[in-house]
Copies of this chain bind each other. A is one copy, B any other.
Amino acid sequence: MAAKATRQQIVDAADELFYARGFAATSFADIAAAVSISRGNFYYHFKTKDEILDAVIEKRLADRERLLAGWDETAPDPARRIECFVRIVIANQTKIMAHGCPVGTLVTELTKLGHASTDNANRIMTLFRDWLTRQFEDLGCGTAARENALHVLSWSQGVATVAQAFGDEAFVRREVERILQWLESVRQQATGNP
């Protein structure tokens, strides 16, 4: 139980540090210091840095799956669910302006490093893409569902990058309004409902 707690603490700390500083720039010592344990103890739980990375990816994946499943249950229709997705850039605005998108920046970094876990990290991107595709299908978009899903995903990545660069809150709000307006027009065209 103490072990479980320690392991969980390590993954949580690594998750935040990888997000804030990047994977490569975060050292064993950094994570150990954040959890207040020794490097030796560290090695007992994770034999390599790549193992921690994979654990962090699994955690992030599980977190996002839970988030999406929650929206599937609570939001009444696909359009509202997509809106939930869109609004996370406002909910997480402060963190995004400081460190960008947790998913996009990790994939970018691992790709550049030629890291073996790149595909693994990409599973989170794929999760978002497929979930969004399902929502647009439910909305009645048919074959355009996947295209629209990638459009929303791409939109979120762009907003995160520019928000990080300029730290412009008003920009984020305007972009959310803009994409929601687009979403509404897609919904009307797909359903025929006003």
Contact = CB atoms under 8 A, between A and B. Distances in A.
A25 B23 CA distance: 11
A126 to B, nearest CB: 8
A150 B164 contact: no
A108 interface: yes
The complex is assembled from copies of this chain, and their number is 2
Label chain A's interface by main secondary structure.
helix
B24 A108 contact: no
A90 to B, nearest CB: 15
Contacts of A171: 147, 150, 154
Contacts of A99: 111-112
A122 to B, nearest CB: 6
Contact of A108 (B105, B147, B150): B105
Contacts of A100: 108, 111-112
A150 B165 CA distance: 11
A113 B158 contact: no
Contacts of A161: 104, 107-108, 154, 157-158, 161
A22 interface: yes
Interface string A142-182: 00000100110111111101101110100100110010000
Q: Tell which of A22, A98, A125, A161 has the most Cβ of chain B within 10 Å.
A: A161
A139 interface: no
Interface string A14-35: 0000001110110000000000
Interface in A69-115: 98-100, 104-105, 107-109, 111-114
